[in-house]
């Protein structure tokens, strides 16, 4: 009887081992199929020049995300030929949050389009094994000085959809938001008393600065394909708060 029990246990162990091997093989097959039929990517030809800041797995993520955004703007997106714009690559480390912020512009000459790539990684979370400690965002370019091709009505994951989005809610979700005016002057947009009111906190407080700030915010809203005339604009000098 004891031998029968031993034989039964052995047979059960064999079944468990076979089941584990089977599951591993299935997982491998699914992975291979996933890679072979997965999403496409748009190769950034000179991205390897920045490999010290961008590891291979993130490079793949960036190029896949780039393809997906380009697909929103081009019927037949290319799969290669993108280039990091010379002089646009920025990498900044925030010692307080232990996060590295990376951004650069990508130009695709073949289709005359450019995009902004932003990537951040949390060093502390990476060391702890948190796989969601990095994030990649590919978006349209909204700063006029960064635009080198003609307007192609760019759309990205964050673009306003007039058929689905409420313009007031869309802007409401986007603020507080800061814009660079000139030199060391910035505008911080905050909500007003109603959904159509926008408060512009400015530090260039003369009449010229107020007009420039309102115009800059209107241009930003228009770049999102929203009518800026839907909103009213109130300027508040930042120094008023510091004097309280």
Distances (CA, A) of 199 to 26, 35, 160, 189, 220: 57, 49, 21, 6, 14
State pLDDT tens for residues 161-219.
888 889 999 998 888 887 877 766 788 899 999 999 999 998 888 888 899 999 999 99
Distances (CA, A) of 98 to 102, 110, 120, 126: 13, 38, 10, 10
Enumerate the β-bridge partners of residue 197. 232
| Domain boundary assignment for the chain | 47-146, 167-242
- Alpha carbons 104 and 179: distance in angstroms, whole number: 18
- Alpha carbons 182 and 204: distance in angstroms, whole number: 9
Dihedral sign computed on CA atoms, order 237, 211, 217, 228: positive
Helix (H) or strand (E) holding 233: strand 232-237
Dihedral sign computed on CA atoms, order 51, 52, 54, 55: positive
**Better-scored residue on pLDDT, 31 or 1:** 1
pTM: 0.57
pLDDT of 12? 52
pLDDT of 243? 47
**Better-scored residue on pLDDT, 186 or 74:** 74
pLDDT of 11? 54
- CATH topology classification for 167-242: GMP Synthetase; Chain A, domain 3 (3.30.300)
- Alpha carbons 38 and 112: distance in angstroms, whole number: 26
State pLDDT tens for residues 80-91.
999 999 999 998
Distances (CA, A) of 95 to 126, 128, 212: 15, 17, 35
Q: Which residues are CB-contacts of 24 (< 8 A; sequence separation ≥ 6)?
A: none
**80 touches 73 (CB < 8 A):** no
């Amino acid at each position: 009887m004891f031998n029968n029990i031993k034989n039964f246990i052995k047979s059960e162990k064999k079944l468990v081992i076979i089941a584990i091997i089977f599951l591993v093989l299935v997982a491998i097959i699914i992975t291979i199929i996933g890679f072979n039929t997965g999403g496409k990517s748009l190769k950034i030809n000179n991205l390897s020049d920045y490999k010290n800041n961008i590891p291979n797995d993130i490079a793949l993520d960036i190029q896949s995300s780039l393809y997906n955004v380009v697909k929103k703007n081009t019927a037949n997106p290319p799969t290669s030929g993108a280039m990091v714009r010379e002089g646009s690559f920025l990498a900044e480390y925030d010692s307080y949050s232990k996060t590295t912020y990376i951004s650069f512009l990508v130009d695709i000459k073949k289709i005359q389009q450019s995009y902004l790539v932003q990537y951040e990684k949390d060093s502390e979370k990476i060391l702890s094994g948190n796989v969601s400690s990095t994030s990649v965002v590919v978006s349209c370019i909204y700063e006029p000085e960064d635009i080198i091709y003609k307007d192609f009505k760019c759309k990205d994951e964050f673009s306003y959809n007039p058929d689905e989005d409420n313009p007031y809610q869309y802007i409401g979700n986007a603020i507080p938001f800061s814009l660079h005016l000139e030199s060391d002057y910035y505008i911080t947009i905050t909500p007003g008393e109603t959904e159509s009111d926008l408060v512009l906190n400015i530090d260039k407080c003369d009449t010229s600065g107020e007009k420039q700030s309102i115009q800059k915010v209107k241009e930003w809203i228009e770049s999102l394909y929203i009518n800026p005339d839907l909103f009213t604009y109130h300027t508040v000098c930042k120094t008023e708060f510091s004097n309280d």
